[in-house]
Amino acid sequence: MKLFEIQQLLGASQIWGQHCLDREVATACGADLMSDVLAFTKDGALLLTGLTNPQVIRTADVGGLTAIVFVRGKTPSPEAAEMAKSLDIPLFSTPCTLFEACGILFSQGLKPCPPREGNSVDA
């Protein structure tokens, strides 16, 4: 699913990244815990979140995420928006709740992130 389709489906405004609307997203994750994002997403996923601090942007960069949608009409702090620009991560804001936004995208065929890869943790 392309970012412009996601924007339309969620009635989202674009905070930054007009040139990125053709980028493709295969999977998505809704989360407010950043280590969960890193544990459960794959490269290229979309993140839907209610958190707006710069660490969300940093997490997206580390995790290789394609874009971030802020839910409940939230917008990022100026520092976070600047960081997103410098790291080329498009940002959107939707009036939907996290539950609604995930439901809409899921019902339109966007897939959840697949089971985790990597080494098992047997401690």
Please report, as ranges, the residues that interact with other proteins according to CB under 8 A. 32-36, 38-39, 43, 49, 51, 53-56, 58-59, 61-64, 79, 87, 116, 118-121, 123
For the bound state, the minimum distance from the C-beta of residue 48 to other proteins, rounded and expressed in Å, comes to 13
- Residue 109 vs 123, nearer CB to other proteins: 123
For the bound state, the minimum distance from the C-beta of residue 60 to other proteins, rounded and expressed in Å, comes to 10
For the bound state, the minimum distance from the C-beta of residue 79 to other proteins, rounded and expressed in Å, comes to 7
Region of residue 72 (phi > 0: left; psi between -120 and 50: alpha; otherwise: beta): left
What burial class does residue 113 get, using C-beta atoms within 10 Å of its C-beta: 0-12 exposed, 13-18 middle, 19+ buried? Answer: middle
For the bound state, the minimum distance from the C-beta of residue 104 to other proteins, rounded and expressed in Å, comes to 23
- Residue 44 vs 95, nearer CB to other proteins: 44
- Residue for token digits 């493709």? 24
Nearest Cα neighbor of 60 from 22, 120, 81 is: 81
Nearest Cα neighbor of 87 from 76, 96, 97, 95 is: 76
- Residue 2 vs 62, nearer CB to other proteins: 62
Show the tokens assigned to 88.
């080329």
- Residue 7 vs 60, nearer CB to other proteins: 60
